[in-house]
Amino acid sequence: MHSPTTYRYGGHVHANGIRQHYLRFGGAECAGTVHDPVIVVPGITSPAATWAFVGECLGSRFDTYVLDVRGRGLSSAGDELDYSLDAQAADLIAFADKLGLKRYSVLGHSMGARIGVRAARHFPAGLARLVMADPPVSGPGRRAYPSKLPWYVDSIRQSRIGMDADAMRVFCPTWTEEQLALRAQWLPTCDERAVRDSFDGFHSDDVHVDIGEIAIPLLLMTAERGDVVLEDDVREIRALAPQLLHVRVAAAGHMIPWDNEPGFYRALGDFLGESVGVSPAGHESVD
């Protein structure tokens, strides 16, 4: 017997001059208590639909919004759009304001974590806490982001002419059939220039300067099997933000909830206001 879904609806708002699409899950009434809403901001080629499984789980405890970043999914895209980190951060702040969220948490993965960092740098009144899940730490004068641009561009172009899960397996060999099929379905909605500009921004935007200005509680979640955030990077970020809590998720690569979904929720702990119930298997290191 399946548990009742926490999915409520998908919607659009006009905020920061563009159409922003989102999926909404849960609500305070699902948990019987009131917590700050959570905005999930996915990564560079992850439309909101690909993070719906996380929204479903978080929706059992929190009013949850999974956002399509501009140029992805059903949000605005086009040659005339600004795909810079500043524009994306302004989108996030405007989205929360448009929905009337007086207090909220942001959970950003990869590019989404950098968007959350840049947004927090501007001290929006309602942003109460930020989860940075495996954020690229590349930037001016730093080592390059480990993934290469052709991996993204080639898969997008192939998806545009049609590809199934088997074809997607060439790009994501460790993923399940369900994960591959969902990516194949939604990857064509990712604007190639948006992806190129965001990838270039991984190397031109200095988010470390932003982190040093953030005063709200921060959770840095990193992947044990990943090469995006290394131990030296954690130490540097902690020096910039002494309030930082760090959790390294066991048996997970960069796409943490894809590899170890229970570990992803355990790593969140009660940082968002309440723990999301998961099985006790697996171990994560906290420092």
Supply the CATH number for residue 127's domain.
3.40.50.1820
Q: Rg of the chain over CA atoms, in angstroms?
A: 18
Secondary structure E strands in the chain:
7-15, 18-25, 38-41, 64-67, 104-109, 127-133, 218-223, 245-249, 284-286
Helix (H, G, I), strand (E, B) or coil at 247: strand
Compute the distance between CA of residue 119 and CA of residue 29 in angstroms, rounded to an integer. 28
* C-alpha closest to that of 57 among 256, 265, 251, 248: 265
Residue 98 lies in a domain: yes
What are the two backbone dihedrals, phi and then psi, of residue 197, each rounded to the nearest 5 degrees? -65, -40
Provide CB contacts within 8 A for 100, sequence distance 6+. Answer: none
Q: How far apart are the first and last CA of the chain?
A: 38
Residue whose tokens read 């309602």: 126
Residue whose tokens read 């397996």: 169
Q: What is the pTM of this model?
A: 0.95
Residue 189 lies in a domain: no
Handedness of CA 175, 179, 184, 190 (dihedral sign): negative
pLDDT at residue number 283: 57
State both tokens at 257: 């909830």
Residue 187 lies in a domain: no
pLDDT over threshold 90, residue 279 = no
pLDDT over threshold 60, residue 69 = yes
Provide CB contacts within 8 A for 159, sequence distance 6+. Answer: 168, 184, 187, 188
Residue 164 lies in a domain: no
Mean pLDDT to the nearest integer, 86-96: 98
Compute the distance between CA of residue 75 and CA of residue 60 in angstroms, rounded to an integer. 25
Residue 190 lies in a domain: no
Residue 171 lies in a domain: no
Count up the domains in the chain and report the number.
1
H or E stretch at 186: helix 177-186
Mean pLDDT to the nearest integer, 95-113: 97
Residue 99 lies in a domain: yes
Residue whose tokens read 């470390």: 208
Residue 191 lies in a domain: no
Domain that holds residue 48: 7-149+205-286
Mean pLDDT to the nearest integer, 173-182: 96
pLDDT over threshold 60, residue 20 = yes
Q: Counting beta carbons within 10 angstroms of the beta carbon of residue 116, is it exposed (0 to 12), middle (13 to 18) or buried (19 or more)?
A: buried
Summarised one tens digit per residue, pLDDT across range 136-174 is 999 999 999 999 999 999 999 999 999 999 999 999 999
